[in-house]
């Protein structure tokens, strides 16, 4: 595969997964600009793998793993008061494409529910039901066993069901 083909394939991978990775980052860092930076960094590192000839067995899992590690590094660099400020400010998800008020309200509603489950459970829920990853793929990203992910998902689902009854 020559340079042009490699680049074409790289950009095709970007087209396929950029929004998923961005969303994954946004729901953890709460700011669009930071989420975009992390997304960019994730794909830059993916390109480094490609150009160095290091095989990537599962592009999607690799991207999520890199993004997750970058987010962990980002958290380490932030001080506690900054995280509190982010939590207070809520997720900045308004973008420049003028989504409808209804769409934004629906997103807020979902976030209000899943915000009440713990971080690991929320992450598993989103990866499974929003991004469509299998428990095995999630396990490869988080470093857990597939079994542990399945258990976590079951518990998270029960919790969400309880919360939704409360919302009803």
Partner 1 sequence: MTNFNPTFLKRLKDLGLSHNEHLALRERLAAYADLHPGIAAPATANGFFVFLSTRRFATYAFSFLLVLGVTGGVAAASEGSVPGEALYSIKIHVNEPLMTALAATNVDQAKVAAKIATRRADEAVTLASRGELSAQNQQYLSQEFTKSVAKAADRANKLAESGDTVAAANVQADFAANLAGEAQALGALSNSQTDGQRAATEKMLATVVSTSESVAPDDAGAATAVTVSAVANEDAASTTLTESEAASSTGALKNRSYFRTRFAQHLHVTASTTLKSIFQSQNISNFKTDTAIPAQTTEGGDQNDQLDVRVSE
Note the residues at the interface with partner 1 (CB under 8 A): 1-3, 6-7, 9-11, 13-15, 18-20, 22-23, 26-27, 32, 36, 39-41, 43-44, 47-56, 59, 93, 95-97, 99, 103, 106-107, 109-111, 113-114, 125-126, 128-130, 154, 157-158, 160-161, 164
Q: How far, CA to CA in Å, does 71 sit from each of 15, 25, 29, 64, 130? A: 21, 7, 8, 10, 19
- Contact criterion met (CB below 8 Å) for 30 and 86: yes
Least distance in Å: CB of 88 to partner 1?
A: 19
- Contact criterion met (CB below 8 Å) for 16 and 58: no
Least distance in Å: CB of 93 to partner 1?
A: 5
Which residue, 104 or 145, is less far from partner 1 as judged by CB? 104
Which pair of tokens denotes residue 137? Answer: 């793929």
For residue 29, give the nearest of 86, 69, 84, 68 by alpha carbon. 86
Which residue, 18 or 148, is less far from partner 1 as judged by CB? 18
Least distance in Å: CB of 106 to partner 1?
A: 5
SS3 93: coil
């Amino acid at each position: 595969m020559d340079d042009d083909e490699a680049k074409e394939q790289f950009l095709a991978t970007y087209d396929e997964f950029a929004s998923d990775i961005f969303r994954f980052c946004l729901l953890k860092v709460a700011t669009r600009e930071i989420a975009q930076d992390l997304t960019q960094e994730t794909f830059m590192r993916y390109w480094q793998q490609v150009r160095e000839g290091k095989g990537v067995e599962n592009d999607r899992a690799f991207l999520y793993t890199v993004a997750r590690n970058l987010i962990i590094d980002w958290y380490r660099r932030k001080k506690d008061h900054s995280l509190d400020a982010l939590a207070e400010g809520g997720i900045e998800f308004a973008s420049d494409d003028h989504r409808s008020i209804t769409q934004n309200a629906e997103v807020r509603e979902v976030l209000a529910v899943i915000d009440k489950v713990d971080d690991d459970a929320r992450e598993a829920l989103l990866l499974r039901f929003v991004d469509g990853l299998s428990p095995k793929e999630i396990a490869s990203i988080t470093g857990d066993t597939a079994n542990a992910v399945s258990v976590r998902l079951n518990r998270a689902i029960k919790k969400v069901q309880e919360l939704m009854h409360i919302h009803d």
